[in-house]
Structure 1
């Protein structure tokens, strides 16, 4: 996919370039190590996500899984790098590098956490068909990026595979549609078939223009809490006044002549 509009390619910043370099470097290290240096594939799987092993306490797998890509081919890592190259510069220009990096990290973790929870909720026969024993890769994060891009740049056009122009809404439909079709066909993917939906959800929750749905929910909850606190304070104040036995005496007097003394002069 190419960048927005008919303009040229956006140049990745240092932050985006660093993310791309880290992902490519890790892939290259395992690719050379496993394919040429005789390294055991178990070193790779030690860092992959695994629902069963994470539940046994190997929590690090949830954090390392998004960093890994198939060392036996270039398509997996190439797709991720391509998406980062074309979509993230525009988001960073609007958000800044700090928010972008937080979004990339949060969406990757959120996607795989959603997959882990869904596997536990679904019947075992269904879960095993949708998610393998090991899962890894940043494709779910890439789907979150695509959704966030579409939400923040409505009306703009991207070119899928450098050829097919689609609107921002079309990009949303494409991402969701592909994820649904993958589930229908039970196509084997490194990330699993449920994590992409977690990435899509992360794009809507964390990547929408401010205030995001998550931010609006937080604001509504805060408003509700403040209203309840104000009502409680008012009730406490009313109860304290009632217990004190005091009452308010209305001020002001209509008969100002009563303020004169016996000689008719005003009293001080």
Structure 2
């Protein structure tokens, strides 16, 4: 998300903008639960029953806390969402990866642990299957897959070098931010390179278009952006290549800032101080959309494009309900990335 901070140019004191985590988690718990229900609510779909129940529990707890303890409803809903929806989804995916690598013992142990949060009949059947496969592997004298797992882990570390470097770079710059002052203080952000239309247009400080991409207004702002980069970045980098990914990331971010300045000059948005990498990240989302539209006949392209549309819809809904973020910056980055995606070609596969 791109933090939108009003910075006063008069002698009045600038107030730091603190992101409302309760609001963010509330939005996340409600919207993600509704999306789960929309995907799995099919009559007679027994396999989806556990997910339906989990999503309904998240909504129920969030709703009750909203009625009685509104100030903590987001935190309560977010915690339940993390335990009942997020962790099981990530864990089941990891369990499948382990089984694919032949590491049935680790897959079984992970499945047993996941049963605490996701006690579904399908998971119990998978655990029994892994137990049989594990016994068969030991009976045949198959060497454990530790070496294979090690190689897989190492390859995953090399999977998206640009994403890894960008995550480390953003984290390092945030450490610099907090070393010079409060990362939520507009005056501190101004001194170290936040994007401000007046400073760029009138004072010619064009470098702010670049530096603002690596600044963040607080740890929560940084965390959400880096998590989004970690989730969305690697698949695109693998598809188009590292150098193209970096170019797409930076051009989208620069276009995001330039677009906001242009909209400010014509009076469509109010002058504000901007920081954050979300213009770049929305550029990644847009690039995915353009890339998938160009190659829409490829396998799974339509389903992935539908997922991108859902991400954009969620982001727009969040922007409309959260005054601390800049929808204009997000949309400008999205459009820039989309245009780039239309001309991107897949990375050539090694011979």
TM-score, length-normalised on structure 1?
0.60
Determine the structure 2 residue equivalent to 1:104: 249
| Candidates 185, 202, 219, aligned match of 2:336 | 202
Determine the structure 2 residue equivalent to 1:50: 196
Q: Are the aligned partners of 2:279 and 2:332 in contact in 1 as well (CA < 8 Å)?
A: yes
- RMSD of aligned alpha carbons: 3.3
Partners of 2:169 and 2:200 in 1: CA distance: 24
1:80-125 Cα shifts (integer Å, max 9, x gaps): 21122122222222221111111111110011111111111235xx
1:110-162 Cα shifts (integer Å, max 9, x gaps): 11111111111235xxx22xxx52111011111111232344456759xxxxx
Structure 2 counterpart SS, 1:194: helix
Structure 1 counterpart SS, 2:273: coil
Q: Is residue 285 of structure 2 the alignment partner of residue 146 of structure 1?
A: yes
Structure 2 counterpart SS, 1:21: helix
Q: Show structure 1 runs of 5+ residues with no match.
A: 158-165, 213-268
Partners of 1:48 and 1:107 in 2: CA distance: 17
Instruction: Report the CA distance between 1:183 and its aligned residue.
Output: 5.7
Determine the structure 2 residue equivalent to 1:168: 304
Partners of 2:179 and 2:223 in 1: CA distance: 16
Partners of 2:308 and 2:169 in 1: CA distance: 27
Question: For the structure 1 residues 25 and 183, does the alpha-carbon distance in structure 2 shift closer, same or farther, using more than 3 Å as the test?
Answer: closer
Name the structure with the higher helix share. Answer: 2
Instruction: Report the CA distance between 1:211 and its aligned residue.
Output: 6.5
Partners of 2:235 and 2:332 in 1: CA distance: 22
Equivalent pairs counted in the alignment come to 189
Instruction: Report the CA distance between 1:184 and its aligned residue.
Output: 4.3
Greater C-alpha radius of gyration:
1
Question: For the structure 1 residues 210 and 183, does the alpha-carbon distance in structure 2 shift closer, same or farther, using more than 3 Å as the test?
Answer: closer
Question: For the structure 1 residues 89 and 187, does the alpha-carbon distance in structure 2 shift closer, same or farther, using more than 3 Å as the test?
Answer: same
Partners of 1:177 and 1:92 in 2: CA distance: 23
Partners of 1:90 and 1:211 in 2: CA distance: 14
TM-score, length-normalised on structure 2?
0.47
For 1:70-219, what aligned pairs fall within 5 Å after superposition? 70=217, 72=218, 74-122=219-267, 127-128=269-270, 132-152=271-291, 156=300, 167-181=303-317, 184-185=320-321, 187-189=323-325, 192-208=326-342, 210=344
Question: For the structure 1 residues 133 and 67, does the alpha-carbon distance in structure 2 shift closer, same or farther, using more than 3 Å as the test?
Answer: same
Partners of 2:314 and 2:261 in 1: CA distance: 21
